[in-house]
Structure 1
Amino acid sequence: MNELDLFDVVETERSPGAVFEVVQYKSLKGSDDLNVAEKVFFANQAAIHLKMVRITLDNSQVLIEPGALYFMKGDLQLESAMQGGMAKGLMRKFMTGETLFQSRIKGSGEIYLEPTFGHYLLFNIDNDALIFDKAAFYCGSGNLEVSAKMQSNVSSALFGGEGFFQTQVKGSGIVVLNSPVPVAELLMYELAKGEKLSVDGDFAFVRTASVSFQAEKSGKSLFQSVTSGEGLLQTFTGPGVIWLAPTQAVYAKLKMANGFSTLTRNQGSMGTKT
């Protein structure tokens, strides 16, 4: 069976010397284990597809997370090194959760990364920078720089929910991130200069580096913030673009015991009697 019969291409991005694609199996055919076959049946019924990132190189190179390689064919060489040297590698490892070593594949050929039921988000950046959640980086063009980005102020580090450091990728090329939700459920907002977006939660997934971030009171005073029930909000100020994953917390609750029942009640109700 050839690739056209097995896969659908669901997303494609191109850069000089490289094509990045997200491919998914049209359906899984089952297993000789009945328990596995049952899970495969329900995955097919729910339209949950097994996906892989496929990269085609033409005398080019790509960065991938160690362990992500599944198989490759062609004139390709796999190397492992600390991008940016020991200091930057250690910073990236301990501050953002990204790996100390990164794998680099050079040459011409076709690369398949590990299959997953998860989701991928592809960006094609041109002399720009993205800031995103820890450990979200999956692979990207070989000339990109992956580093730790320190929060610009103490309030965002202590109360913003993201910690003191996030991951930054800058340069020109393709960036592939592990998305916490299906890409169709992400919301993208383009903020004008000085325009604010306030979020009650940590589901702001990725933003361009031009967007500033800090934790702010929801009300004009601390008393208003406490009595409103919202407290501190993640506040993002333009110019730039930001992507939100509003359903991320919903899926996290569904994984918990009695998680579905908590979603059937109005979480904002304060029990006021009338």
Structure 2
Amino acid sequence: MSSARLITIANQKGGVGKTTSAVNLAAALAADGHKVLVIDLDPQGNASTAVGAAHASGTDSSYEVLLGDCTANDAIQVSPEDSNLFCIPATIDLAGAEIEMVSLVRREFRLYDALAKGFLDEHGFEYVFIDCPPSLGLLTINAMTCSDEVIIPIQCEYYALEGVGQLLGNISMIREHLNPELHISGILLTMFDARTKLAEQVANEVREQFGAVVLGNVIPRSVRVSEAPGFGKTVVHYDPSSTGAMAYIAAARELHKRGDYPPHPTTGAIGVSPEIYAELEG
């Protein structure tokens, strides 16, 4: 569809740093000179807030784009923090979108169709990050039908891998029926607390299960990362010298340097063996 890397940030489990990771990876890449778009598909609109996009009810947003009431060009906004960072925001109107989309033609491809008409190349985007709600409804399916890559944030805490098997199963179904190019190109470890043995154990377990697809840079627990949303900013813009910001900058550069991590030739979805894939899928 485009030369841009389209990346869905997904995890059905809430509170794992999904939105935080989406906006800070985007902000870090934009700060490095890449042209980046964030598409907010979460009705809470936290990604929109973080990049400084207006998203009051009635603003042209991803809701209108999905329903065909406006174009992506109508809804796009530039971040006041960085002229390389753009956003298609989410408003609270998006909360009812899944019900409204049920009867629409190509309901799983509404976002794909909106972006497929030369929009991304016209703007010269290099990266597109799509932030999803913590569920696998039509909004997340729309994200996954228009992107090739999925990055899964996994927190270094108890029950870290809970629900990941179900997510892999859902990705497999989307690959089979809707988007054969979809695959997991990265696992990002978040909320790492170096003071605890648990964090190290979880990190080791995730690396053992997923192998090289796990990004080498981990995101630590950080007061600044927690504070930044309260100021309507990414931590990269709020305090770029903080440990949290530097970790996201390092992870973004790693993501850029290594490119799209190729899917396993057998499982297709992730860079692990069929045996481990079957075990994770449950």
| TM score, norm. by length of structure 2 | 0.24
Determine which structure has the larger helix proportion and give its number: 2
- Which one has a bigger Cα radius of gyration? 1
Q: Bigger relative contact order, structure 1 or 2, given CA contacts below 8 A and separation 6+?
A: 2
Determine which structure has the larger strand proportion and give its number: 1
| TM score, norm. by length of structure 1 | 0.25
